[in-house]
Amino acid sequence: MNIELLLQHISKHISLTNEEEEILKSFLHSKKIKKKHFLLQEGEVNKTATFVTSGLLRIYSIDKNGFEHILQFAPPGWWIGDMKSVLTQQPATLNIDAIEDTEIIWISKEDLEKLYAAVPKFERFFRILAENSIASHQQRLVNNLSLSAAERYNNFCQLYPSLIQNLPQKQVASYIGVTPEFLSKMLSNLSEKK
Amino acid sequence: MNIELLLQHISKHISLTNEEEEILKSFLHSKKIKKKHFLLQEGEVNKTATFVTSGLLRIYSIDKNGFEHILQFAPPGWWIGDMKSVLTQQPATLNIDAIEDTEIIWISKEDLEKLYAAVPKFERFFRILAENSIASHQQRLVNNLSLSAAERYNNFCQLYPSLIQNLPQKQVASYIGVTPEFLSKMLSNLSEKK
DNA sequence: AAATTTTCTTAATCTACATTAAGTTCCCTG
DNA sequence: CAGGGAACTTAATGTAGATTAAGAAAATTT
């Protein structure tokens, strides 16, 4: 289990004693997910908090016509989950799968509550994490409501320069909310204009 | 200051001793915002957490063509803020104003940190609050990416039945992401089909 | 209650993006 | 390294929703 990235990430927001670090570790598990395999499927309950240490996950919904809509990518150092399912422990409406071979660290919902009880600092950590996530969601919403497809694409490239290298174009299309055909046309227009 | 609604809201997630309640109260302020007046304008720093006790606020961005895009309404019992500005203490890109005469309870960012130090339970409270907000944002994103305007409208009506009564149609249009003209047309089509 | 502003409606025209349908290139995997 | 499915491209056609423009209705202000 590559716990270094997680500890580093945590230390940006709270500092842990050795003892607290040990308590944390006692609750953690790791798991590998092969490319194209699922971490969570619509209908299952999302019972864990998930932190990516290597590879790449995506979380997406499938609409009534079978089209996928990607809410978020999770490269190393990111958390991912169907928050409604985690909170209510009802079946998820979102899917999480691996775009590349991926390794995660996870903690069960019950153990997370135990961790909060044992080391209340983690309430703070996850509060800060959640607040940052809200800030991103607000920005994403603004972008989706006010920008054109080309502007959303440029924005994505600026925000995730390293992601854009390795991602299949159709995944980017699904994230910014256009069809792969339209994105393809858009990009060829952009490049010939230069 | 009508603090009852706030205490009631807090007690759904954590329970406070009388002493802790007093500490909380010592940090709180109240304020009235008249209809059409601003609580926060683009360019100002969002320095407080805001809880609505009566009336109705909205938070929105203004795009480069001057069009408004509403991210959220805040009726009594809701929190509202430009989270990026709150976290970074940089100028806000969002605006908050009153759709009706409104009364809020607010706490400054500094005092909130003091509150966390004095009563760590509040870290838990705001963590839970933030996590619920993420769940809503994920759902909103899914809706915006996968539903038609008519479906988003119906969804809004189901989610906020009481809001829809009092809101000007153009505000609803701005929230679901269509022009007022299109919403008007859509509604008259819907009603004549029945 | 007149005046002014804001909201809502209707209708014609326009456009960003979707859909459909090929064909092509790129990969994985055997 | 062959072949079979993904991923990407191109192009024709279709459509949800935008834009523009005007007038009507409703709400606010004086």
Tens digit of pLDDT for each residue in B16-43? 999 999 999 999 999 999 999 999 999 9
Q: How many domains does chain A have?
A: 1
A130 inside domain: no
A68 inside domain: yes
> In this complex, which of B123, B145, B146 lies closest to A123 when CB atoms are compared?
B123
CB-contacted nucleotides of strand C (7 Å): 7-12, 16-21, 29
Strand C at less than 7 A from CB of B169: yes
Closest approach of A31 to chain B, Cα-based (Å): 24
Q: Indicate the burial class of B62 (C-beta count within 10 angstroms; 0-12, 13-18, 19 or more).
A: middle
A48 inside domain: yes
Q: Which of A92, A84, A97 is nearest to A56 (CA)?
A: A97
The identity of residue A76, as a single letter, is P
- Picking from A69-83, A127-141, A158-172, B84-98, which range would have the lowest pLDDT averaged per residue? A158-172
Sign of CA dihedral B160, B60, B90, A148: positive
Q: For residue B90, what is the DSSP state?
A: P
B148 inside domain: no
Q: A149 — contact with chain B (CB < 8 Å)?
A: no
Compare all CA atoms of chain B with the CA of A138 and give the residue at the minimum distance.
B71
Strand spans (E) along A94-183 = 95-108
User: What are the start-end ranges of the H helices in chain B?
Assistant: 4-11, 18-27, 83-88, 109-118, 121-146, 149-159, 161-166, 169-176, 180-193
Quick check: A134 and B132 CB within 8 A?
Answer: no
**Strand nucleotide closest to residue A182 (CA to C1'):** C17
Domain that holds residue A31: 4-112
B164 inside domain: no
Q: What is the pLDDT at residue A194?
A: 43
Tens digit of pLDDT for each residue in A105-130? 999 999 999 999 999 999 999 999 99
A133 inside domain: no
Q: What is the pLDDT at residue B191?
A: 74
CATH of the domain at A64: 2.60.120.10
B131 inside domain: no
Model confidence at B194: pLDDT above 50: no
Sign of CA dihedral A111, A117, A119, A125: positive
CB-contacted nucleotides of strand D (7 Å): 7-12, 16-21
Other beta carbons less than 10 A from residue B148's beta carbon = 10
**Strand nucleotide closest to residue B151 (CA to C1'):** D16
B21 inside domain: yes
Residue A98's DSSP bridge partners are A57
